[in-house]
């Protein structure tokens, strides 16, 4: 049965019930984890996706769960070539997850670090290309309107090298709208808490 869990990993068992099989962990963060997974469909359909989850110790944190759900709802309608696409938001047992586009590549922080290790300066034209694609993604998000024609008022609030992905073909994708501000979805805590990373 292709939908049975292949390992004893509890997370794999939970996600497999919804036609995903986790193949490896991509990254661990303070709030959650990201996994590479295979999405299965009818007639032998298979697609590599990324699964974003929340750590168990945050499952009872109402504000954090609302932020996680807000990201899924917000980005689901941001369809742009330079924004990582959201496929599905789900909850199985006590676990929330987001299934999203899988990017085979590295983030900008890794790209910069590798150049530093090799003592090579990133060419100006490459740097300009990367940032211009991020700007295209942001311009699209900033101008996005709902069905009634009202601006969503989307602001990413965490543009940093870790959230800018570059695939193996050099294509740039913006990710992690997890702390984005959107009038429709998010509680306005401006001035109460620091959002994003201080240095950016």
Catalytic residue among 1, 93, 158, 192: 158
Gap between the Cα atoms of 177 and 1, Å rounded: 35
158 catalytically annotated:
yes
By three-state DSSP, how is residue 67 classified?
Answer: helix
Q: Which residues contact 128 (CB under 8 A, 6 or more apart)?
A: none
Bridge partners, residue 11, by sequence? none
User: Which tokens go with 106?
Assistant: 């590295």
DSSP code of 162? G
Gap between the Cα atoms of 125 and 119, Å rounded: 18
Characterize 29-46 residue by residue with b for buried, 16 or more Cβ atoms within 10 angstroms of its Cβ, and e for exposed. Answer: eebbbbbebbbbeeeeee
Looking at the annotation, which residues are catalytic? 158
């Amino acid at each position: 049965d292709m939908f049975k869990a292949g390992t004893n990993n509890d997370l794999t068992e939970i996600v497999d019930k919804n036609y995903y099989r986790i193949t490896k962990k991509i990254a661990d963060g303070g709030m959650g984890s990201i996994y590479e997974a295979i999405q299965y469909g009818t007639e032998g359909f298979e697609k590599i996706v990324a699964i974003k989850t929340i750590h168990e110790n945050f499952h009872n944190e109402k504000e954090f769960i609302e932020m996680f759900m807000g990201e899924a709802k917000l980005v689901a309608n941001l369809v742009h070539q330079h924004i990582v696409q959201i496929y599905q938001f789900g909850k199985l047992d006590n676990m929330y997850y987001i299934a999203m586009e899988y990017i085979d590549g590295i983030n900008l922080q890794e790209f910069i670090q590798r150049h530093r290790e090799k003592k090579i300066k990133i060419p100006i034209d490459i740097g300009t290309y990367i940032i211009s694609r991020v700007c295209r993604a942001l311009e699209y998000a900033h101008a996005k309107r709902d069905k009634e024609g009202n601006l969503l008022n989307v602001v990413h609030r965490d543009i940093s090298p870790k959230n800018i992905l570059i695939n193996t073909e050099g294509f740039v994708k913006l990710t992690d709208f997890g702390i984005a501000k959107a009038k429709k979805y998010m509680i306005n805590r401006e001035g109460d808490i620091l959002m994003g990373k201080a240095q950016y």
